A and B are shown apart, each in its own frame.
Chain A
Amino acid sequence: MIRRAAPFRPFAVGSRRPIAAVLLTFALFSTVSVAFSIRATNRSQNRAAMVEVAARQRTLVERYVQEVLLARAREDAAPAYTAALLEKSAAVLLRGGKVPAVHGDDDETELAAASGAPARAQLQQEARLVRDLTRAGTALLAGRPVESVPQTAHEHITVKNPVRRLRVLAALTSNVSLNAARTIATSTDRNVSGLITLQIVLGIAGLAASLLLGWALATVIRRQTVHFRSLVTSSTDLVLVIDEDGCRYVSPSVEAILGRHEIEVLGDGLRHCVHPDDIPAVEAAAAHGDAHEVIFRVSNRFGEWRSLEAHVTDLRRDRHIRGVVLNARDITERVELEQELTRQAFHDSLTDLPNRALFRDRLDHALARSRRGNEVIAVLLIDLDGFKHVNDSLGHDAGDELLRQVAQRFDKITRTGDTVARFGGDEFAILLENASEEVAITLAHRVIEEVASPVTVGGRDFSLGASIGIVLHRGGAGQSEELVRQADVAMYAAKEAGRGRFEVFRHDMTRQLGELLGLEHELRLGLERGEFQVHYQPAVDLGSNAIVGVEALLRWTSPTRGSVPPAQFIPVAETTGVIKPLGEFVLREAFGQAAQWLRDGVLPDPFVMWVNLSGKQLTAGGVAPLVLRTLAATGLPPSMVGLEVTETAIVEDGPSGARARAELEELHEHGVRIAIDDFGTGFSSLGHLRRLPVDLIKVDRSFVQGIEHDAKDAAITANLASLAHALGVLAIAEGIESEGQLESVRKLGCDLAQGFLFARPAPAETVTRLLAEQGRRVALRSAYRESA
C-alpha cells in the first residue's frame, strides 16, 4: 500500500478551520449553558414564588382560625374571604394560574403548575385539608356539628371539641403547607445544584474542547511558522521589508549574502549600505512600490559592491506587513559576466582597446554633442605599413606583440578623453573631441614618429610606417559611418601618395575612391563570371623572323563598360588587392595554354611564355611558390616560361623589395626566365640591374615609337640594347608597328621584337594558327634544304 505524504501547502490558510471550530464549540457550549441557565432560572423563580405562596398558606390558615373564632365571638372578621383565598391559592399552587393578592399585603402572582410528584401530592393533600378546614369553620360558625364535616384528607380526628377539632385541622393544613414549601424549596435547591453542576460540566467540556482545538490551531500555526522560518532562513534570497523610515525587516540570509548582521541593515542602516547612485531607485521603490524589479548595489562586510536584483511587492495595505517587500537575490556574478561580455563585445581582445563598434558608439555620442555645441571632432584612421612583413617573417605571435606595443604607444600619446580603437588587422583609429585641424595633424605626426620608432619583437627591432587618414567634423549634423568612410578615403589617399604620411580628407577624394571601389566590385564579379580572357602577342626573333615566344596579356570585357584597357583596371586591382586572384588567373591560363601547345606540337624551339607580374604582386610575396605550383600543375618546363617584372618593383628598398628579389632568384634558379619590363623608365641603377637574375630587357614602346625620327629615342634604344648585351641578356623592342621601326631596332641591336607589325594580341586560337603555320613553314624549309 502506498502511503503518500500529506502535501505541504505553506500558503494554504489552514488555520481558519480550527479557529472556526474553536469559536463554534465555544458558542455551542455557551448557548447550551445559557439555555439551561434561563430555564433553570425561570423554574427557580416560579418555585420561589410557589414557596412564598405555600408559606403564605400557613399564615392564612392561622388567620382563618383566628377570624372564625372572632366571628364566633361576634367580633369583626371575614373568615369567608380568608377561606376563599386559602382555597384559591391551594388550587393555583396545584394547577397553576394567578394567585390572588392578600389585601394590603402583596400583589397577584402568576404561577406555573407545580411539578414533581412529591410536591404535587403534598399540594393535593393541602387542598383537601383546606377544604376540610374551611368546611369545619363554616360549620362552626353556622352552629352545625363540626364532627359531621367529612374528613376527605384521610385524617382520623377523634377530638370532640369543635374549636380544638378546627385547630387540629389547621395544624395539619399548616404542616402540610410548610412541608410542601420545603419540598419545592428542596427541588429548587436541587435544580440550582443541577444547574451549577451542568455549568461546571459544560464549562469544563467547553474549555477542554476549546483548549484541544486551540492546541491544534497552535500546532498548525507553529508548523507553518516553522516552515516559513525554514524557507526564509534557508533561502539564498534576501527578503527586505522597507518603508519610508527605512528597513523594517531583513531576513537572516543577509549574513550569508552580505556577511552583515541584521542590525546593520535595519532602519537607516540599509541606506548606508546601498550604493549612492542606487539610493533613489530603492527610495522610489519604498515610496511607491510600483516598480516590479529594481537592481541596486549593496556593500558587503568587506566593502565590496554586490548587485542585488529585487522583486518589489507593495504590501503597505496588508496590515500584517505594512511595507514594501523586496525579494532580492545576488546577481553580482551575472552582472560581472554581463559587464565582461559587454567589454568583450566592445573591446579588442588583443590590445584591450575599444573595437570598431565602441568607437562608432563614442563617435555617435561625440557627433550628438558636436551638433549641440559645434565642437570640432577629428577622426584619424591609421594603417600600419610593413606590418604584414613582420607577421609573415616572424609569425602571428610576433605580429600580435607588435600590435600590442603600438597600441600602448597610441594610448600614451593621446589625451584622456580621446578614444584609441583597433578596427582589426593593422588598422587603428583615434577619435579626438574638442579638436582642431592643428591638433589632429600634430597627433598624426606623433603617430608617425611613434610607429617609426623601433619596436623590439622577437629579439629584432622593427620600424614601421603609418598611413593616416584624417577627417574633421566641424559641428552640425553628421553620421559616424560617413566620417569613418571619409577617414578611410583619406587614408587610401595617404597610402597612394607614398605611405608613411597623412592626408586630410577632401571631398574630391570621395569621387576617386568611389570609382575605385566600384571598379573593385566589378573586377571581382568579372573574375567570377569569366569576363577575363588571356590574349597572346607573339615575340619575333629579329634574326630568323620566327616566333620565339608570346606575351600573355589580360583582357577584360565588362558587360557594362565594354572592353576595359589594362591600364585602367590593373592599378585598381593593385590598390584593392584584386591583383592577387587576377595574377593567379593569368598564370594558370597562360601556363595551361603553353602546355597545351606543347602537347599539340606547335611550339617552336626555343619558345617562352611571358607573363606580366605586377609590382604589388611581387612585393606582397608568395610569387615563387605560386609559379612553381602552377608549373607543376600544368606540367610545363620552367625554361618555357618567363616573368616580366617592372623595374620599380624589384629595385624597391626595404624588406618587400628584398623578398621580391629573393623570390625571383629562386625562380630563376629553377630555369624560369625573367624580363625587366619598361626598362629605362624607372630609377634603377645599373648596380641593381647587375645583381638581378635577368634574361631579357624590354625597351619601352615610348622609345620605339619615336625611334625613326627622334635621335634621342634611337640613342636610348641603342644604349639599352648595348647595355643588355653587356650584361649578357637579350633586348626586345616593344610596340613595333611599322617596317621602319623594325629596321631601326634591328639596326640598333635589338634581338627580339614585338608589335602590331607582327601580330596583335590575339586569342589562343589565332596564335595557335600562327604557330602552326610557322611550324609548317619551318618544316617545308627543312624539307627543301634536305632535298637540295
Chain B
Amino acid sequence: MRPATQLLRQNWLGYAIAPIVLLALTGCGLYGGHGTAAQVVRVTERDFKISAPKHVRAGDVVLKVGNHGPDHHELIVVRIGRSPLPFRTDGMTIDEDAVRRRTVGALDPAGAGATRSLRLRLAPGRYVIFCNMSGHYLGGMHRTLVVGR
C-alpha cells in the first residue's frame, strides 16, 4: 500500500475531515470564488498505459481520471525533482514515502469503468502521473506532465 493513500484510508478521521476540508475549499471559492475556473485535464488509464495531455497550465487543475481497465488502477501525482523516483526494495513499486513531500495528489485504486476527479493546485514544473500497483509502473503506466505558466 502506498502511504499517501494509506494515510487517508487508515485514518477514519481523514474520512470525516476530507468532506469538511473539501467543503471549506469550495467555500473559499476555489471553483469560482476568485473568478478563475479550474482547468480540466482528461486522464485515461488502461492496461498498461496512461494517456494525458503533455502540457498543463499552472493553477487549479481537475484531473478527470477514467479507468478503461481491464485491471484496477490508481493514480499518484508527484512533482519530479532532481533525482529519479526511487523504488521500494521489491523493485516493483515506487517508494511513496520517499516522495511524499513531492506528492501533490493521489486517487485510490478503482476498477475498470470508474471515472474520478482529482483536484490539484499545480505550480509550474514537471510532474509524473503513475499507477503504483505492483508492476504497473514498470509495465508502462506512467506519464510526465509539464505545468507551465
Contacts and interface: CB of A to CB of B under 8 A. Distances in A.
Given A154-B48, A168-B138, A172-B48, A122 B92 contact: no
A124 to B, nearest CB: 7
B111 A172 contact: no
Interface in B95-149: 111-113, 133-136, 138-140
A169 B113 CA distance: 23
Contacts of A617: none
A122 B92 CA distance: 21
B64 interface: no
A118 interface: yes
A172 B135 contact: yes
A179 B72 contact: yes
A588 interface: no
Contact of B139 (A121, A157, A164, A182): A157
B92 A168 contact: yes
A155 B139 contact: yes
B57 interface: no
A118 B138 contact: no
A551 to B, nearest CB: 158
A125 interface: yes
A175 B134 contact: yes
Interface string A134-167: 0000000000000000000111111100001001
Contacts of A182: 72
B34 to A, nearest CB: 40
B46 interface: yes
B112 A122 contact: yes
B60 interface: no
The A contact surface, by secondary structure, is helix
A183 interface: yes
B70 to A, nearest CB: 3
B91 interface: yes
A176 interface: yes
A174 interface: yes
A171 interface: yes
Nearest to B46: A154
Interface residues of A, number: 25
Contacts of A125: 47, 70-71
B69 interface: yes
Nearest to B138: A168
A170 B91 CA distance: 13
Given A118-B113, A122-B112, A155-B48, A176 B92 contact: no
B113 to A, nearest CB: 7
Contact of B140 (A157, A179, A183): A157
Contacts, number: 71
Contacts of A154: 46-49
B50 to A, nearest CB: 10
A175 B71 contact: yes
B140 A158 contact: yes
A685 to B, nearest CB: 160
Contacts of A175: 71-72, 133-136
Given A125-B47, A156-B140, A179-B111, A168 B69 contact: no
Nearest to A129: B47
A118 B114 CA distance: 11
Contacts of A179: 71-72, 111
A182 B71 CA distance: 11
Interface string B60-87: 0000000001111000000000000000
B138 A183 contact: no
A414 to B, nearest CB: 122
Contacts of A118: 69-70, 111-113
A121 B135 contact: no
Nearest to A182: B72
Contacts of A156: 48-49, 139-140
- Name which of B48, B71, B111, B136 has the most chain A CB atoms within 10 A of its CB: B71
Contacts of B91: 164, 167
Interface in A267-299: none
Contacts of B49: 154, 156
Which 7 residue pairs of A and B lie closest in terms of their CB atoms, listed nearest first? A156-B140, A171-B135, A121-B70, A171-B134, A155-B139, A172-B135, A179-B72
10 contacts: A118-B69, A118-B70, A153-B48, A156-B140, A157-B139, A159-B138, A167-B91, A168-B135, A171-B92, A183-B111
